Amino acid sequence: MPGICDSFQRGIDYLRISVTDRCNLRCIYCMPSGGVPLVSHQDILSYEEILLVVRAAAEIGMNKIRITGGEPLVRAGIVDLVRMISAVEGILEISMTTNGILLHKYAGKLAEAGLQRVNISLDTMKADRFKKITRTGDLADVLEGMESAREAGLDPVKINVVPMQGINDDEIQDFARMTLEKGWHVRFIELMPLQGAAGLVPANLLRHEIEKLGTLEPHYGMAGNGAAKYYRLSGASGTVGFIEPVSEPFCNRCNRLRLSASGTLLPCLFSAEGIDVRTPLRSGSTISDIKRLLIDAVASKPEMHRLSDNCAMHTRMSGIGG
Q: Name residue 231's amino acid.
A: Y
Rg over CA atoms, the chain: 19
Given a cut of 80, whether residue 272 has pLDDT beyond it is no
The predicted pLDDT at position 24 comes to: 93
The pLDDT > 90 percentage for the chain reads 77
Quick one: pLDDT at residue 83? Answer: 98
pLDDT of residue 312 exceeding 50: no
Decide: 172 and 236 in contact? Cβ < 8 Å. no
pLDDT above 70 for 319: no
Give pLDDT, residue 211.
97
Instruction: State pLDDT tens for residues 14-48.
Output: 999 999 999 999 998 887 777 778 899 999 999 99
Out of 98-107, 149-158, 301-310, which region has the weakest mean confidence (pLDDT)? 301-310
Over the stretch 79-134, which tens digit does the pLDDT of each residue have? Answer: 999 999 999 999 999 999 999 999 999 999 999 999 999 999 999 999 999 999 99
Give all domains of the chain, ordered by start, each with its CATH number.
14-320 (3.20.20.70)
Each residue of 168-200: pLDDT tens digit? Answer: 999 999 999 999 999 999 999 998 765 556 788
Over residues 44-72, mean pLDDT: 97
Mean of all residue pLDDT scores within the chain: 91
Q: How far apart are CA 239 and CA 224, in angstroms?
A: 13
Amino acid 28: pLDDT: 87
Say whether pLDDT at 318 is over 70. Answer: no
Q: What is the mean pLDDT of residues 46-72?
A: 97
In which band, very low, low, confident or very high, does the pLDDT at 307 lie, cut at 50, 70 and 90?
low
- For a pLDDT cut of 70, what percent of the chain falls above it? 92
DSSP secondary structure string for all residues of 233-254? ETT-SS-EEEE-TTTS--GGG-
Dihedral sign (CA 78, 80, 86, 87): negative
Residue 313 banded pLDDT, cuts 50, 70, 90: very low
In terms of residues, how long is the chain?
322
Tell me the pLDDT band of 314, cut-offs 50, 70 and 90: very low
114: buried, middle or exposed (CB in 10 Å: 19+, 13-18, 0-12)? Answer: middle
pLDDT at 304: 82
